[in-house]
Amino acid sequence: MAVTASAALAGAATVVAAAANAAAAGCAVTYSVTSQWTGGFGASVAVKNLGDPLTSWTLTWSFGAGQQVTQAWNTTLTQSGAAVTARNAAWNGNLPTNGSASFGFNGSWTGSNPVPAGFALNGTTCTGGVASPSASASPTGGPTTPPTGDVLSQVHTAGRVKTSGSAVQYSWPGVYFEGRVRGTGVGIVLNDGAADYDVQVDGATVTTLVTPGAGTRWVNGLSNAEHTVRLVKRSENPWSVSEFGGFVAAPGGAILAKPAARTRQIEFIGDSLTAGYGNASGTRDCAGDQVNRTTNADLSYGALTARRLSADYQINAISGKGMVRNYAGGDLGTDYRTYYDRALLSMAGDVWNPGTWRPQLVVVFLGTNDFSTALGSGEPWTADSLVTAYRSAYSGFLQKLRTRYGANTTIVAVGASPFADYVQQVVQERTAAGDSRVRYWLQDGTGLDLLGCHWHYSTRDDQLIADRLGTFIGTLSLNW
């Protein structure tokens, strides 16, 4: 088993891979510590079946330093002492030969956080040697110059990006870039000193880049074959401009034709609950940079819902912003609508060109910041006039979406306490006026633990909401 530490990871993040050689019963496991902070960590596990097809699976391993799993997603996970058992969820039990499934979890640690040992799939030990993907902070093993040509000609993205010379710039959370490469390594050209990123190779997260700065970060040690690579901005950082310069192949390799766009498109509009604010923290008490390090838009309910539906997506969310009133009445004179049309949120007057972005489904979840705090003495509303302003602005915003995307787009307006009735009233009014493709969905909060930073959704909550929202979407007649 090869283990490689990476200077580009948070804390002592590590990537490890193991494989069995048997044809009838074999497996490969990629275990990645995707983020780490004092006393806690997040991890991603990808299991690949190298043997005969499976209709259900159980993966077991043991921790070696007293680590404890605190929450998990895309799996049913239990722990007894050091022994961990992860079973498939209802939707990912089928593993054909060379098929893969991925899941994640948060855990606690004291003293050290070594890589666990003894992975076994349905009782078969995953042994043998495979190349271990590893990330390096320096560009050794590959060219140091950015790729030439148009970045968007080599990668697929659905995010709000703007071309800037040989790179693209963006601000919204969850923006992702997908490409294909042949060879033993791939470089990621970035200029970003504020945001965090996950790098995924062949469907598994292999490293987290924490505020990577300017330069090329490398994932080396891949098998000399074709690979898919995905870079996703996991943190929010709305007032900074991020820049991506493309993927670079290692010597002897090549950047291949980009993946095709998905035919389904979903846009998620919201605030910190939609952005994945501190969802991977495992605690409500977050200090310093812990919110930034533990925000993972790629595990937000929107991203999970879209992947479940095999859809491209945008997460157009800004923490603290409301439909007409921001959290605690802050930044009077601005609200979410001030920024919605922008690609670069800090640039006043910036306007994003939707191009081919025509989502069949738009999910709007705004209102928490409007009503979660008491009105202050300097604010221009009374309790009644705030409701009136909110309903009027909400209706106008839905009309804006309808004008932009056309009559065939379905808009789901999400209600939650204490503003659910107001959203439902807006939907009823629009339906009565003849807009049959506006639907109301109640996010009632049942069963949520709110163990994200500052009482936000945890990754467990995001998964639960994604399951419920996905079920509701399944009842809609969508044009896809």
> In the chain, which segments carry CATH 3.40.50.1110?
264-473
Omega into 418 within 30° of 0, i.e. cis?
A: yes
Residue 207 CB neighbours (<10 A): 28
Residue 149: per-residue pLDDT: 63
Maximum C-alpha span of the chain: 72
Chain mean pLDDT for the chain: 88
pLDDT bucket at 82, cuts 50 / 70 / 90: confident
pLDDT tens string 218-254: 999 999 999 999 999 999 999 999 999 999 999 999 9
Look at the domain 2-131 and name its fold.
Answer: Immunoglobulin-like (2.60.40)
Under DSSP, is residue 136 helix (H, G, I), strand (E, B) or coil?
A: strand
How far apart CA 62 and CA 82 sit, in angstroms, is 5
pLDDT of residue 466 exceeding 90, the answer is yes
Residue 2: per-residue pLDDT: 28
CA end-to-end span of the chain: 45
Q: Which residues are catalytic?
A: 272
> In the chain, which segments carry CATH 2.60.40.290?
2-131
Residues 308-347 as b/e (b if ≥16 CB within 10 A, e otherwise) read: bbebbbbbbbbbbbbbbbbbebeeeeebbbebbebbbbee
pLDDT tens string 250-280: 999 999 999 999 999 999 999 999 999 999 9
What's this model's pTM, rounded to 2 decimal places?
0.75
CATH class of residue range 264-473: alpha beta
Residue 248 CB neighbours (<10 A): 23
pLDDT of residue 129 exceeding 80, the answer is no
Write down the H helix ranges in 164-322.
Answer: 272-275, 290-294, 301-308
State CA 244 to chain mean position distance.
17
CATH class of residue range 136-255: mainly beta
Stronger pLDDT, 91 or 359, i.e. the higher one: 359
> In the chain, which segments carry CATH 2.60.120.260?
136-255
Who contacts 224 (Cβ-Cβ below 8 Å, separation ≥6)?
183, 184, 252, 253
Residue 355 CB neighbours (<10 A): 6
